[in-house]
Structure 1
Amino acid sequence: MTGDHTALHAGLGAWFAAEARPLPWRAADTTPWGVLVSEIMLQQTPASRVEAPWREWMTRWPTPGDLAAAPVDEVLRAWGRLGYPRRALRLRQSATAIVERHGGVVPEDEAALLALPGIGRYTAAAVLAFAFGRRSLVLDVNIRRVLARYHRGVEHPAAHETADERREALAFVPDRDADAALWSASAMELGAVVCTARSPRCGDCPVSEGCAWLAAGRPAWEGPARVAQAWEGTDRQCRGRIMAALRATEAAVPLTDIAWPDEAQLLRAASGLVTDGLARQTPEGLRLP
């Protein structure tokens, strides 16, 4: 670690100890597998929507071996309305790889984690930090926003992570494993509940005294326009409508039974789901795999 960020780490660590949300995957008895499941579920999904499915998932499939042995259709039904159901398939594939390559034990090695299906740089780093208490560079959108404001004095990080940003962020990670893991957890929590994208609560920030953005008067964002991701009428919504229909029954579902105003889009979405392994075509209609 370069630079002296002792006050920042101490302030955030104390705040986290007192104010952190009691999320179930943060419990002391959560296994590395439970942490891995939470990280996959939390991708592009708020924690409030993940808590109940995570609890149900861990009760049903508490180990990688349990999930690897589960039928694909059951896994997709259990994924429910979390969205981006390919994550469920990748998680099952990762569980299978953990069983085959690591004896059913989540590996405590970054290279081995990255070699698992669907596990990218962020997820591998998060599992190292939150499951094993190891030093790693955890850099999600919340931590990126905190550092953009605190360190660089701008309202938002760039749209895409850069090598320079990673180097800057690494300078804030303490050298000791336990301190580094606490930094990652506390900075992420700050970005999620206080230093939010739309309505930051600077008056409640435990490290506001050192924030460059606040000191500059909270200047407005001058970078490219930040456009919210559309949902209504998109292929994503159409795919979600089809998946909801498939999860609701054991029978085949004819596309004519699914209410959607654009027939061509409906056909395209259905074809994409089959290609992605999320559905299979039968003479009677679509089914879960």
Structure 2
Amino acid sequence: MSADLAPPLIAWYRDNARDLPWRAEGFGAWGILVSEFMLQQTPVARVIPRLTEWLQRWPTPAALAASPPADAVRLWANLGYPRRALWLHRAATEIRDRHDGVVPRDVDALLALTGIGDYTARAVAVFAYGDRHPVVDTNTRRVLARAVDGRSQPGQPATADLAAMTRVLPADDTDAAVVNAAAMELGAVVCTARSPRCEACPLAAVCAWRAAGYPDTGDARRRQARYEGSDRQARGAVLKVLRAAPDHSAAAEEVIAEWPDPLQRTRAIDSLITDGLVEATGGALHLPR
């Protein structure tokens, strides 16, 4: 059954894939690595302009490593989860120091870099270097859950996901890379979580969920906490002030002093300091230097 998914996925992807920067011929391993960091939990539309700005300023890992971490945090701007900016800066430094400035191809070497997990390591190896590995993100897991397992939603991420995707991949490296990309693309634009467009799906003829009559098998996915009024919002407000401040520094008592929940304000600042996104020196807060 799993092997039946590859041919229709390849044909559909070649006709319907979105024109995205990181899919361009010769985009390069560094650009793909940066894009994968940015795309984690962030919509494509917000990533594209920021990615272009980053790669213009830092076209190589060594270029980013030579800049202070504060510059990375500042240019991360509205992408959210700003720890990714620090992780990317550290990964760039590690690539410069351990790999002569070249993004490694080996999955284990990629996994050894700061901020890189199973998905990102395999995505770089596959989409930058053309190697054959399973690449599994949230969209892929949903496609597999429906088409192969007949479930309406996937369960929690598990190591079995990689084995499940491996069974779908063709033997040819190039075709395998296309199938990896196609499964993600299908989950992003057709086999969506809330409103799947099954009439437009290239897997309709082989989909186990469709054959079973689209049963509701439950949804065990973790729900993201509401942003409004959250600690994440308070953290974002602190970073926004410091990004805009001269020298990215401001008196501690003046940073979001008007925040309606003083305890939350303190908690946000303390957590940013713990994460290394903010430093406190002599009564002032500033981005990392």
Class of the TM-score when normalised by the shorter of the 2 chains:
over 0.9
Distance 1:195 1:223 in 2: 15
- Find out whether 1:99 has 2:90 as its counterpart: no
Looking at structure 2, the residues matched to 234 and 267 of structure 1 have their Cα atoms a distance apart, in angstroms, of: 13
Note if contact 2:30-2:60 (Cα within 8 Å) is conserved in structure 1: yes
- Structure 1 pair 132/261, CA: closer, same or farther in 2 (3 Å)? same
Aligned-pair distance for 1:16? 1.0
Partner of 1:65: 62
| Corresponding residue number in structure 1 for 2:210 | 214
Deviation at 1:239, TM superposition (A): 0.5
**Aligned ranges 1:80-159 → 2 under 5 Å:** 80-158=77-155
Q: Secondary structure at the match of 1:81?
A: helix
TM-score, normalised to structure 2, is 0.94
In structure 2, what is the Cα distance between the partners aligned to 1:283 and 1:154?
Answer: 56
Shift of 1:49: 1.0
User: For residues 223 and 189 of structure 1, do their structure 2 counterparts lie closer, same or farther at Cα, with a shift above 3 Å needed?
Assistant: closer
The structural deviation recorded for 1:225 is: 7.2
CA apart distance, 1:227:
3.4
**Equivalence for 2:39:** 42
Residue 78 of structure 2 aligns to a residue in which SS?
Answer: coil
Cα distance change of structure 1 residues 228 and 95 upon mapping to structure 2, 3 Å threshold: closer
Alignment-mate amino acid for residue 190 of structure 2:
V
State the Cα distance separating 1:282 from its structure 2 match. Answer: 2.8
Cα pair distance change 1:83/1:255, threshold 3 Å: farther
Per-residue CA distance 1:124-150 (angstroms, 9 max, x = gap): 011111111111111100000000000
Unaligned ranges ≥5, structure 2? none
| Structure-1 residue corresponding to 2:173 | 177
Partner of 2:193: 197
Distance 2:220 2:119 in 1: 24
CA contact (8 A) 2:61 2:93 kept: yes
In 1, Cα distance between equivalents of 2:145 and 2:250: 49
| Cα drift, residue 254 of structure 1 | 3.3
Residues 216 and 89 of structure 1: CA distance in aligned 2, closer, same or farther (over 3 Å):
same
Shift of 1:122: 1.0
Distance in 2 (CA, whole Å) between partners of 1:100 and 1:146 is 39
Q: Where does structure 1 differ by over 6 angstroms across 4 or more consecutive aligned residues?
A: none
Give the fraction of aligned pairs with identical amino acids, expressed as a percent: 51
Query: SS where residue 252 of structure 1 aligns?
Result: strand
Give the C-alpha shift of residue 226 in structure 1: 5.8
- Taking the aligned partners of 1:218 and 1:148, their CA distance within structure 2 comes to 12
Residues 37 and 91, structure 1, Cα contact 8 Å, conserved in 2 = yes
- What does residue 252 of structure 1 align with? 250
User: RMSD of the alignment, in Å?
Assistant: 1.6
Per-residue CA distance 1:50-102 (angstroms, 9 max, x = gap) = 00000110111010010000111111111001011110111111111111111
Q: Aligned with 1:103: secondary structure? A: coil
Which shows bigger deviation, 270-279 or 163-172? 163-172
Hey, what's the Cα distance between the residues in 2 that align with 1:138 and 1:255?
46
**d(CA) in 2 for partners of 1:97, 1:41:** 18
For residues 206-245 of structure 1, the aligned pairs below 5 Å read 206-224=202-220, 227-245=223-241
Residue 256 of structure 1: CA displacement? 3.7
Change in Cα spacing, 1:198 to 1:181, as seen in structure 2 (3 Å) is same
**Residues 253 and 11 of structure 1: CA distance in aligned 2, closer, same or farther (over 3 Å):** farther
Supply the distance in 1 between the matched residues of 2:223 and 2:87 (Cα, whole angstroms).
28
TM-score (norm 1): 0.94
Report if the CA contact (8 A) 2:9-2:182 is conserved.
yes
Letter in 2 for 1:131: A
Gap change, CA 1:280 and 1:144, over 3 Å in 2? same
- Residue 167 of structure 1 deviates from its aligned partner by 2.4
Counterpart in the other structure of 1:79: 76
Match of 1:275 in 2: 274
2:284 equivalent in structure 1: 285
Paired residues of 2:135 and 2:162 also in contact (CA < 8 A): no
Deviation at 1:39?
Answer: 0.4
